[in-house]
């Protein structure tokens, strides 16, 4: 039994979960904390679940509306709506696809019977859908068939990857699915494929609030794929289109520095830090993504070769732009460029060619920041020092400096 459990109060969710697990000891239950987790995506279909269990008390309007909305979605499993209050004298009929239960306490036997009935109904619906000739298309991502992920649409491509919006039946959420577009030949070493797999190896071992969550890695039809957290709020580049208060920029700087502190502590460099690789969650917090150019210091293979330049010139450190040895201080320089842009609304160095920009990073003076950014000027200039030895030496040192700046005198 796979149950998608939705509820606002933790004690109600725990009570419902306990009843389900007593009956089905191996049940897989994924919780959605109503009011805390991001709202359900309009394209979410709970495709990997046998039933949806919603539990809550008064007022009931929010939960009732959500149950009706979900039940109206194609392929959504039946909803068992448990309302922890006495039934009204003349309760309205439940919408199609919704089983409504009332009571100050959850009647376990009644709940289990209703969940089993909902699961049987869903199984019958799905059997009819699987018999349709186009059913398999739901799992097709271009030329690749990936079971367990329902394709919603392609949303982009990058390098050797195609990027899709999908629903993970196992994780019970909308994900971004990156599908490696080149079939690896075991007879030769494909650098891009190695880097793609390295992205997962790096991120999968990190558990940090400001680092993207990886849901799944696999190989289908000889194509590797990574399923990762979806960010409907967009990236920092979109946020930077509007003026940003210096205090907000400093908070975003601190959150990104915290992510860098975590990856640097395990011997990993990002090497492609830019606003497009810093995503926003619905609560306004930031999250670092896209480790496709990252390099784990402890890995024995140099995937970039000798004196190759990777990254985005606008955000490259002087040493990275000249294909010299880099370390954590190079990521901090890139973060400094992002911080400068958040404060001023413009990049510190621009040019008509990539090489002109790279030259300016090493030789040109840093343009002054607007006067209202004064308290943060020293931090920005230290991040953007030409010589690595003149910068913050670690992300932790940067975080300490930001903390001292906020502390009262």
Higher pLDDT, 296 or 152: 152
Q: Where in the chain is the domain with CATH 1.10.510.10?
A: 236-406
Q: Check whether 51 has a pLDDT greater than 90.
A: yes
User: For position 83, what pLDDT does the model report?
Assistant: 96
Taking only the tens place, the pLDDT of each residue in 315-355 is 999 999 999 999 999 999 999 999 999 999 999 999 999 99
- The beta-strand segments (E) located in 77-203 are 79-83, 98-102, 140-141, 144-145, 149-158, 161-168, 173-180
User: For position 296, what pLDDT does the model report?
Assistant: 62
Q: Where in the chain is the domain with CATH 3.40.50.2300?
A: 2-130
Stated as kind and residue range, the H or E segment containing 160 is none
Q: Where in the chain is the domain with CATH 3.30.200.20?
A: 137-229
Check: CATH 3.30.200.20 for 137-229? yes
Report the pLDDT averaged over residues 362-382.
95
Q: How confident is the model at residue 196 (pLDDT cuts 50, 70, 90)?
A: low
Tokens 């990886």 locate to: 214
User: What kind of fold does domain 2-130 have according to CATH?
Assistant: Rossmann fold (3.40.50)
User: For position 98, what pLDDT does the model report?
Assistant: 96
Q: What is 236-406's CATH number, 1.10.490.20, 3.20.20.10, 1.10.510.10, 3.40.50.720?
A: 1.10.510.10
Q: In angstroms, rounded to a whole number, what is the distance separating the alpha carbons of residues 287 and 236?
A: 10
Report the pLDDT averaged over residues 21-27.
95
Report the pLDDT averaged over residues 179-188.
62
Q: In angstroms, rounded to a whole number, what is the distance separating the alpha carbons of residues 299 and 269?
A: 12
User: For position 407, what pLDDT does the model report?
Assistant: 62
Report the pLDDT averaged over residues 129-138.
90
Report the pLDDT averaged over residues 227-240.
93
Q: In angstroms, rounded to a whole number, what is the distance separating the alpha carbons of residues 71 and 91?
A: 18
Q: In angstroms, rounded to a whole number, what is the distance separating the alpha carbons of residues 336 and 342?
A: 10
22-31, 52-61, 305-314, 350-359: segment of lowest average pLDDT = 305-314
List the structure tokens of 23: 């009956």
Taking only the tens place, the pLDDT of each residue in 79-88 is 999 999 999 8
Q: How confident is the model at residue 182 (pLDDT cuts 50, 70, 90)?
A: low
- The beta-strand segments (E) located in 183-277 are 214-220, 223-229, 268-269
Taking only the tens place, the pLDDT of each residue in 245-297 is 999 999 999 999 999 999 999 888 999 999 999 999 988 999 999 876 666 65
User: For position 311, what pLDDT does the model report?
Assistant: 62
60-74, 112-126, 153-167, 365-379: segment of lowest average pLDDT = 153-167
Q: Active-site residue numbers?
A: 272
């Amino acid at each position: 039994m796979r149950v998608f459990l939705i509820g606002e109060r933790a004690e109600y969710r725990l009570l419902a979960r306990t009843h389900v697990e007593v009956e089905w000891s191996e049940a897989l239950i994924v919780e959605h904390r109503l009011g805390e987790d991001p709202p359900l995506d309009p394209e979410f279909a709970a495709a990997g679940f046998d039933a949806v269990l919603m539990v809550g008390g008064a007022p009931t309007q929010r939960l009732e509306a959500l149950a009706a909305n979900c039940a109206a979605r194609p392929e959504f499993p039946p909803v068992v709506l448990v309302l922890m209050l006495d039934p009204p004298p003349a309760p309205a009929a439940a919408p199609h696809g919704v089983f409504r239960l009332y009571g100050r306490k959850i009647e376990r036997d009644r709940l289990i019977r209703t969940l089993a009935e909902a699961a049987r109904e869903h199984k019958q619906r799905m059997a009819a859908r699987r018999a349709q000739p186009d059913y398999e298309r739901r799992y097709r991502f271009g030329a690749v068939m990936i079971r367990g992920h329902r394709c919603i649409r392609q949303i982009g491509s990058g390098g050797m990857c195609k990027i899709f919006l999908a629903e993970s039946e196992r994780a019970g959420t909308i994900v971004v699915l990156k599908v490696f577009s080149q079939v690896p030949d075991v007879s030769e070493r494909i650098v891009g494929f190695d880097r793609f797999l390295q992205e997962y190896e790096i991120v999968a071992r990190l558990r940090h609030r400001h680092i993207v969550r990886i849901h799944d890695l696999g190989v289908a039809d000889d194509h590797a794929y990574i399923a990762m957290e979806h960010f409907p709020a967009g990236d920092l580049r979109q946020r930077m289109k509007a003026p940003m208060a210096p205090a907000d920029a400093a908070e975003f700087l601190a959150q990104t520095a915290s992510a860098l502190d975590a990856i640097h502590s395990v011997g990993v460099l990002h090497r492609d830090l830019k606003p497009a690789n810093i995503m926003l969650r619905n609560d306004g917090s930031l999250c670092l993504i896209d480790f496709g150019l990252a390099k784990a210091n402890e890995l024995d293979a140099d995937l970039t070769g000798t004196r190759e330049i990777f990254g985005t010139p606008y955000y490259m450190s002087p040493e990275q732009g000249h294909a010299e040895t880099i370390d954590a201080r190079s990521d901090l320089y890139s973060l400094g460029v992002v911080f400068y842009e958040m404060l001023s609304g413009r990049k510190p160095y621009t040019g008509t060619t990539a090489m002109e920009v790279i030259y300016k990073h090493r030789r040109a003076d840093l343009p002054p920041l607007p006067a209202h950014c004064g308290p943060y000027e020293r931090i920005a200039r230290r991040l953007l020092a030409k010589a690595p030895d003149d910068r913050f030496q670690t992300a932790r040192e940067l975080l300490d400096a930001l903390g001292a700046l906020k502390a009262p005198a």
